Structure 1
Amino acid sequence: MLIAALVIAALAAVLHVYIFAMESLWWTTPRVRATFGLSEADAQTTRSLALNQGFYNLFLAIVTAAGIVAWLVGSPAVGAALVIAGVGSMLAAAIVLIASDRTKASAAVKQGALPLLALIALAIAAL
């Protein structure tokens, strides 16, 4: 179950790298504007906010990846702490998103499903 948990956590990290790219690199492109329901003017106005938010997602992915690596090279306590901090923060961000704006429920589920599954799998592995 541990391997499954780490694979799911890795997938969550990859997803958050993609979110980083959308928010920090591609925010004003037509495809990303359509994904987030933004006009060109709104995308330009919120560009610096999205850049910052994207880097938060990248840092969560890095923490999670570092935890996976630490776990695999023989530091399970450090690895567990980092993976739980990373995916736990991803899940918390998804909860904040849905709590702050119910119209973003679909995005929150996409953002939070893998972290939630990773935490559940880690809990089962710890039994």
Structure 2
Amino acid sequence: MSLAADVVIAIVALLHLWFLVLEMLLWNRPTGLRAFGTDADFAERSKALAANMGLYNGFLAAGLVWGLLLGADGRPEKLFFLGCVLVAGLYGGLTTSRRVLWIQALPAAIALALLLA
């Protein structure tokens, strides 16, 4: 299952890179407004907060890529960063939007299951 786990981990990392782009660069643009269901006024007032969230998503992606680059020796890093993604996804799903459960938590849970199989 190592190859399957690594493929799903790479997908999770790419998702988090996309979240970084959405939150840091596109937050107050039409793509970001649609993605998060916000209006221009709210986006403008909260863009510093969104950029901070995007930076954290970038760190999660970097940690997952680091684990992938280490190959089999990167298992602890993969477990740690997937765990962080899962917790963040569960919290976001419970406090902001149920969509976060499907978009963030579920892919992380699948990757963790494959990694632990």
Using structure 1 for the length normalisation, give the TM-score.
0.88
* 1:90 maps onto 2:104 in alignment: no
- Counterpart code for 1:10: A
Q: Which residue matches 2:61?
A: 61
1:83-122 equivalences under 5 Å are 83-101=78-96, 104-122=97-115
Percent identity of the aligned residues?
A: 28
Deviations 1:60-89 (A, max 9, x none): 0000000011125xxx2xx01111111111
Q: Deviations over 1:1-22 (max 9, x none)?
A: 0111011001100000000000
Note the aligned Cα RMSD (angstroms). Answer: 1.0
Structure 2: segments with no counterpart, 5+ residues? none
Q: Does residue 1:22 correspond to 2:17, yes or no? A: no
Q: Deviations over 1:84-113 (max 9, x none)?
A: 111111111011112223xx1013311122
Higher Cα Rg, which structure: 1
Deviations 1:6-64 (A, max 9, x none): 11001100000000000011111012102211110000011000000001001000000
Equivalents in 1 of 2:100, 2:85: separation in Å? 12
Segments of 4+ moved more than 3 angstroms: none
Structure 1 unmatched ranges of 5 or more: none
The answer to whether the Cα contact below 8 Å between 2:67 and 2:77 also exists between their aligned partners in 1 is yes
TM (normalized to structure 2)?
Answer: 0.95
